[in-house]
Amino acid sequence: MSINRIGVLTSGGDAPGMNAAIRAVVRTARANGVSCLGIRRGYNGLINGDVVELDARSVDGLLVKGGTMLYTARCEEFKTEEGQKRARDICRYLGIDGLVAIGGDGTFRGALDLSRGGVSTVGIPATIDNDIACTRYTIGYDTACNTALDAIDRLRDTMQSHERCSVVEVMGHRSGNLAMYVGIACGATAVLVPEKSVDMERDIFDRMRDGRIHHRNHHIIIVAEGFGHADAIAKDIHEATGVETRVTVLGHVQRGGSPTARDRVNATQMGAAAVNALLAGKTNRVVAAVNDGIVDLDIEEALALPPVFHEDLYVTTRQTIL
Ligand code: ATP
């Protein structure tokens, strides 16, 4: 089937670089004589026909902007058979031959259902959590890590001045990948991730006591949100070591901001690859960063992969912390 019009949407949690991916989809489509519709508020927009025509000029200046110009939302109705049928009918009515869905695993499950219903779909992985098994990299990860690092560097100044310990909760959903990356980059005393158990006495308290002997007067403990209990951890640290301990939850601050060069480039390459896959007649694909290149993989196979934990980062945290 020839592709004359592509739809693009962002769904799930927003991530810096989603806009850059939208821009790449639109520019690549337009360069191939294909028109482009932006679908607003994720799959809600597909069900409600909430769309906007996008041409090459309408995405000017988008590369540097965080968030998503198309808005993002969750859509429970899309998970139902009626919702799916409505979405397919709208695609037919609007002349959408191919759809690019930018988001996480849930977004790809929706794309899979649509492609089974006859709409050509390609997914682009975008989430700050970097927890999508089929790809080494997801759009937004680098920016979120740098945003967290910037905040922690500032925290360190005040922790150092007051000789305190800071327990910093970073995002990552159920994954510890972002926490480990940030922990390595900020030289944390410990990184607590949901995938690994922790011996508080050995991994935190003893390190802090040992650090005191060597005149290390402040500590940063990174806790992945999936590990939880930041307040309880801070209380235990204070009781065990006597060091005044404060909790900082970085929260949604990590999701905002202008994307880094890495996110802009990745998003641009993935956006172009998604359109190229549709133009090549492919459907039910997700683009992925594999071995320094961008490839496209079967969505069903991609979704069947076990959760990804970057064991190499874990080994590095164990080897280099304190
Ligand atoms: P994030 O990683 O930021 O959470 P995500 O894409 O995994 O992103 P979800 O909320 O899980 O976010 O999914 C986004 C949307 O995808 C849902 O609101 C729903 O519209 C659609 N979706 C999720 N799962 C399914 C499914 N099994 N079938 C059809 N659609 C789905």
In sequence order, what DSSP letters do the residues of 114-183 get, joined into one string?
HHHTT-EEEEEEB-TT---TT-S--BTHHHHHHHHHHHHHHHHHHHHHHT-EEEEEE--TT--HHHHHHH
Report CA(67)–ligand 1 centroid distance (Å): 17
Positions annotated as catalytic residues are 129
Whole-number Å distance, alpha carbon 92 to ligand 1 midpoint, is 22
On the question of pLDDT at 212 being above 80, the answer is no
Task: Read off the DSSP letter of residue 201.
Answer: I
| Angle, CA of 127, 144 and 314, to the nearest 5° | 85
Q: Which is the closest atom of ligand 1 to the Cα of 44? A: 20
pLDDT at 157: 94
pLDDT of residue 214: 78
Beta bridge partners of 168: 222, 248
Which residue is closest in CA terms to ligand 1's atom 18? 74
Mutate to test the pocket of ligand 1, among 68, 107, 127, 138 (most ligand atoms within 8 A of CB): 107
Q: What is the mean pLDDT of the chain?
A: 95
CB 94 within 8 A of CB 37: yes
Which residue type, as a one-letter code, is found at position 82? E
Query: What is the pLDDT, as a whole number, of residue 292?
Result: 84
**In testing the pocket of ligand 1, which one of 50, 68, 79, 119 has its CB within 8 Å of the most ligand atoms?**
79
The C-alpha atoms of residue 287 and residue 30 are separated, in whole angstroms, by: 20
Which residue's CA is the closest to the ligand 1 atom numbered 13? 106
Q: How far apart are the C-alpha atoms of 47 and 108, rounded to whole Å?
A: 17
- Indicate which atom in ligand 1 lies nearest the CA of residue 14: 3
Q: What is the mean pLDDT of residues 278-303?
A: 96
Out of 50, 75, 109, give the residue to mutate to test ligand 1, the one with the largest number of ligand atoms within 8 Å of its CB. Answer: 109
Ligand 1, atom 24, residue with closest C-alpha: 106
Residues with CB under 6 A from ligand 1: 11-13, 42-43, 74-75, 78-79, 103-107, 109-110, 113, 127, 129
C-alpha of residue 306 to centroid of ligand 1, in Å: 17
| Rounded percentage of the chain residues whose pLDDT exceeds 70 | 99
**H helices, E strands: number in the chain:** 11, 11
What is the reported pLDDT for 309?
93
Contact 176, 193 (CB under 8 A): yes
Which residue do the tokens 């977004």 mark?
107
For the stretch 138-169, pLDDT in tens is: 999 999 999 999 999 999 999 999 999 999 99
Question: Residue 232 class from Cβ within 10 Å (0-12 exposed, 13-18 middle, 19+ buried)?
Answer: exposed
Cα-to-centroid distance, 25 and ligand 1 (Å): 21
> What is the CA(106)–ligand 1 centre distance, in A?
3
Ligand 1 center–CA 299 separation, angstroms: 14
What confidence score (pLDDT) does residue 215 get? 78
* 132 Cα nearest atom in ligand 1: 2
Please give the DSSP secondary-structure letter assigned to residue 21. Answer: H
Atom of ligand 1 nearest to the CA of 105: 7
| Rounded percentage of the chain residues whose pLDDT exceeds 90 | 91
**What six digits make up the tokens of 67?**
């968030």
Residue 322: the pLDDT is 53
Q: Is the pLDDT of residue 132 over 90?
A: yes
Answer for the pair 137, 308: CB distance below 8 angstroms, yes or no.
no
SS3 54: strand
Q: Per-residue pLDDT tens for 5-60?
A: 999 999 999 999 999 999 999 999 999 999 999 999 999 999 999 999 999 899 99
Among candidates 193, 224, 189, which has minimal Cα distance to 204? 189
Residue in 66, 13, 72 with CA at minimum distance from that of residue 45: 72
> What is the rounded distance in angstroms from the CA atom of residue 218 to the CA atom of residue 216?
6
